[in-house]
Amino acid sequence: MTREIIDYGQFAERLQRQQQGRPRWELLHAVQQEWGYEDPGGEHLHSRWGGENRTHGIDWGLPVPPALNEWWDSPLNSFAFKPRLYWVHTQWPPTISDLELPQDSTLVAPGGDRRVCVFMSEYHYSHAWGYLAAEAELPDPRVVVSIGGEWVVQSRSLSEFLMQLAFERMPAHYGWTLRVPRAVVDADPEIVRRLTASYRELGLLPWQEMGTDALSYGAPDAVIRHGRGPGADFAIVINARTRDALVAVAETLGVDWSGDKAIRPPSEVPEPLEDLGPATLAAGEADPRGRWTVLMRGHIAAPSVPGAAAALVSAPGALRSVASNRSGTTLVAGDVDGSVHVLETDDESPETIVLTLHRAPVTALACLELANGKRIVLSGDEHGVIRYWNTRRKPMRIPYDRRATPLRALAVAQLATGPAFAAAWADGLVRVYDLESDAVAGLRLGTGIRFLGLDEDGTLRVTDGEGTATLALDPDKLWPHRDLQLRLEDVDWGSLWTARGPGHMVPELIGKVASDDKKTAMDAVHDLYRLLVSKEAASTAAVPAIPFLVDLMVDPDNKSRSTLLLLIADLADVRQARGGRGDAQLAAVRAALPALRHLHDDPESPIRWAANELEQNCAASPA
């Protein structure tokens, strides 16, 4: 499908419509979507109380503007879901700054309140953003920024500032980027002349962060920032939704983009969807990797759900999905508003509990009573979000999984290996999850799946518009790294150190190296490289991590093998031992050599080259 081109040369008109009374967060929502940010589902990971919260300097008599409260509460607040996109600190409640407006300031009436309420600061605390205490009662007051010991207006309203902040940050993560140094622009003033002649301003006030004084211009699928201030190391920064759009702007401006690393690709890339045809599972068909075999195909009725489950949703036309456990003691229903209604009929005083867990219609449900008596509920929605929880506890804040396509079916069962569930998405991918180890298998079964059934004997029933196929699942081949995932939990990673702090992230990244998605696996290897590789053997987490990396390396289906083998080889390249760490790290890699030597004959030349690097590094002695 061809992507719609967004002409940001027309952004000023969009901004003007916003200022004339359109819904306050409409433009923020549009900007985030256009650049590729997707609502992750679930609840905020960063609360308003999670920033630089102080116990002094707060005027409790001042109201907090409704716009700021709305932003914190809104699912459109991408900062609260992914703070690392922003590199800012927040302050709640807003704090009165020590820096006041001067007596002759034109920002307030003579004799007016000259204080400023700070709600956010730049990551290095070089400056802060706030609103005037004199405007605190306004629903959406102006935002000022501290520059050189004085306050200047940054945005015409809080909502405009928060939209502009997202516009400043997100394109660098989700788009293609070309940065032109100031020296290049100073040497060729025609670049700026071509910029102003070819493109229109976005209509936003100049961005004042770190002395950049940056004015932004719009192009088809691209924005161009002209940093005019002394703090702008890069006088021109181009961000584009596509590489072609970036190149078009660069050629118009007459700036060189031909260097190998001049253009930076997006760092945030959504997981690609599958391009599958309709499901056509026939008896005898089998997965090439032996994970499933179709035993039979026919017309098998879906398990019946007590009618009382549907009655949990009383609003006419609001019901979207129902489910129950095998005994009928747990009934669940999902509605069009994203709420899940749960009733445990065997409670002493049965009462329907309503949880608003989704921001889209609930399209699938499943529930199971475990051997220990706990009851779990799974729910999925039109946005592709899966929530999972124990009915005796609050649901997890974050989704169990999410893909950018509607969820069509869920099924859960207690297998011989433990509880597991299956999920089918609209693009034809079915994932089967082992709940004990978090291992997951991706089965490309095809589109049109309407119902899934999972039985205790490990059979998966897949119903499409033409009938039902019964698949026998092989857990060992379905989750080849299940044992590895369980062994990861036996290591106290939090007590170990990496080059960037405690090792909490190491097990999760090792698990991602086993992903069926190549980008996910490769990104995890690169992250592990930054955490574990040090010629000074500074990482105590490296030694216990090495056996897991080797186990993944000997898996012929691993999607990151050449890069993963280089990671293992570089872990042997220890030159400065500290307290025996270098010796232990080198010994751990050397112990893995017998399992990896067959890679010298691998058909892929990058793997053969990496195997040679491994041998050389293991032969060397730490200095």
Contact 42, 397 (CB under 8 A): yes
CA distance 243 to 265: 8
Q: For 221, left (φ over 0), alpha (ψ -120 to 50), or beta?
A: left
Q: What is the longest distance spanned by two Cα atoms in the chain?
A: 86
Our CA angle for 9, 12, 17, nearest 5°, is 135
Peptide bond into 395 cis (omega under 30): no
pTM of the model: 0.89
CA 468 vs. chain centroid, Å, equals 35
SS3 2: coil
pLDDT at 539: 82
CA distance 392 to 404: 30
Cα–Cα distances in angstroms (integers) from residue 80 to residues 43, 60, 76, 94, in the given order: 9, 24, 9, 17
Backbone angles phi, psi at 122, to 5 degrees: -65, 155
Q: At what angle do helices 66-73 and 158-174 cross, to 10 degrees?
A: 30
Contact 105, 99 (CB under 8 A): no
Compute and round to an integer the Cα radius of gyration of the chain.
28
Find tokens 């691998």 and name the residue.
Answer: 602
Sheet strands (E) in 466-574:
467-473, 497-498, 501-502
Q: Which residues of the chain have pLDDT under 70?
A: 1-2, 260, 535-538, 575-580, 621-623
Sheet strands (E) in 336-434:
339-344, 353-356, 362-369, 375-381, 385-390, 401-402, 407-415, 418-425, 429-434
CA distance 223 to 239: 5
pLDDT at 260: 63
Tokens of 152: 């200047």
- Amino acid of residue 506: V
Sheet strands (E) in 241-352:
263-264, 292-298, 319-324, 330-335, 339-344
SS3 592: helix
Helices (H), 182-259: 182-187, 190-198, 243-253
Contact 410, 380 (CB under 8 A): yes
pLDDT at 371: 87
pLDDT at 619: 87
pLDDT at 125: 87
Contact 352, 313 (CB under 8 A): no
Please give the order of strands across the beta sheet that includes 385-390.
362-369, 375-381, 385-390, 401-402
pLDDT at 579: 54
- Please report the DSSP string for 243-259 in residue order: HHHHHHHHHHHT----S
CA distance 491 to 547: 12
- Please report the DSSP string for 99-162 in residue order: -PPPTT-SSS-TT----EEEEEEETTSS-EEEEEGGGTTSSS--EEEEETTEEEEEESSHHHHH
